[in-house]
Structures are given as C-alpha cells and as structure tokens.
Amino acid sequence: MITLYGLKNCSTCKKAMKWLDEQSLSYTFVDYRDHPIEGIQLKSWAQQLGGWPKLVNRASPTWRQLPEDKKTPATDEDWLQLIAEFPTLVRRPVTVDSQMVTVGFKPDLYAQRFA
C-alpha cells in the first residue's frame, strides 16, 4: 500500500497523485495539515532519509522567513517542535510504502520505484 503525505493544494502532490492514478496504482493521501504526523513517525522518516535536512525543505519560502534562531535546531525535539509549528517545512510529498520512504516527486524516479 502506498501512502502519500503532503498538502492537498500542493502542486507537486497533485502531480504525484496524477501519476499514480495514470499508472492505476492505489494509494492513500494524508494532508498533514489536517492530520498532523506524530513525532515518532517524523523521526523515523528523518532517520530513513538520512537526517532532518533530507526531510525538511530548507529552500522553501517558509524556511527563508524563519527567524535565524529557529534555523539551527539541535535535537530531534527541536526539529519536531519546528515542524509542529510550521508543517509546510516538510518536503512534499512524503511517499511511504512497505519498501521505503522518499520525498518529492519526479516521474522517472516514481517509474523506477513502482515498476
């Protein structure tokens, strides 16, 4: 089972869902603004992806507008607090299945992953 986590108005999430629909792949979409992701899940994703910087989009407008003191989270708890306050910092979509966790959408990478 494929689960996409993101924001319903995110254009990248919409592209990922459209691609999955075109491939007749079933999935569940979870808007993490409406259904916040638990800290333990976020921490697990960050670990699987190779750290918080892989999960958090530091090139986003949200990140750039953060006060400088919030841009240096030191602990898992600091990262979790930051994401709880600014859920749009999480890269979109987060794609989860029984094999792996990935972030973002590129048609060629999805084609390889779900071939």
The series of mean pLDDT values per 10 residues for the chain, 115 residues long, is 95 97 97 93 96 94 94 95 94 94 96 90
C-alpha pair distances (Å), 10 with each of 15, 69, 76, 79: 9, 27, 26, 22
Long-range contacts (CB closer than 8 Å, 24 or more residues apart) made by 17-21:
19/105, 19/107, 19/110, 20/110, 20/114
The residue annotated as part of the active site, out of 1, 4, 10, 13, is 10
Q: What is the pTM of this model?
A: 0.91
Instruction: Give the single-character DSSP code of 91.
Output: -
Q: Is 10 known to be catalytic? A: yes
Q: How does pLDDT run across 3-33, given as a tens digit for each residue?
A: 999 999 999 999 999 999 999 999 999 999 9
